[in-house]
Amino acid sequence: MRWNLRQRLWKWRICASLAVPPGVLTWIHTWSHGRLGGRIPLTGVGILYLTTTGRRSGKARTTPVLYFRDRDQLLIVASNRGSGKYPDWYWNLQFNPEATIQLGQAQLGVVASEARWEERNRLWALLVAKLPLLEDYQHRTPRQLPVILLRIAPCSASSAERCTSSAIVGHIGY
């Protein structure tokens, strides 16, 4: 009974917090220069802003995505809230795994890869423990929800000012 109550609280918190449309959340985050819109209130779950290149249009597309930490990498789940189809950013990352994320005021280049079977099972258990709502999303859809690993890309000379070790340490938690 206690676990069901905990799950219901998580559902309420997440659903109440995500009532803001993603476009509005992105606008608030951009308008505040990264000061607002970085966490879901009452849950401690972080939001990163993932910018991918559209696989057909070639345009930059920014989407708010829940993220989790595991060692030196960030994890995101292509859940699309349990929908039967993958989110557009998932297909964009399949086409071009290089992307940019914004965590607070820091912008970092990342390289995305999908977790393999054994690693996905290990990570899935951790993710569900942190956010039980993911299990509900998995039950809603026949597809297996992919876990995407985001690794910080090596810094280039052109992005050295945006890609400092202090920005990485402050947001990734090394």
Instruction: Please state, as a whole number, how many other Cβ atoms lie within 10 Å of the Cβ of residue 120.
Output: 17
The pLDDT of residue 150 is above 90: yes
DSSP for 133-168, please give it.
Answer: HHHHHHHH-SSPPPEEEEEEPPP-GGGTTTS-HHHH
**pLDDT (tens digit per residue) in 20-65:** 556 666 666 665 666 665 666 656 678 898 999 999 999 999 988 9
Q: Which fold has domain 2-172?
A: Pnp Oxidase; Chain A (2.30.110)
**Residue ranges of the domains in the chain?**
2-172
Q: What pLDDT sits at residue 41?
A: 60
* Averaged confidence pLDDT in the chain: 78
Distance CA 49, CA 64 (A): 4
Q: Could you tell me which residue, 160 or 131, shows the higher pLDDT?
A: 131
72-107 confidence digits (pLDDT tens) = 899 999 998 888 899 999 999 999 999 999 888 889
Q: What percent of the chain lies above the pLDDT cut of 70?
A: 63
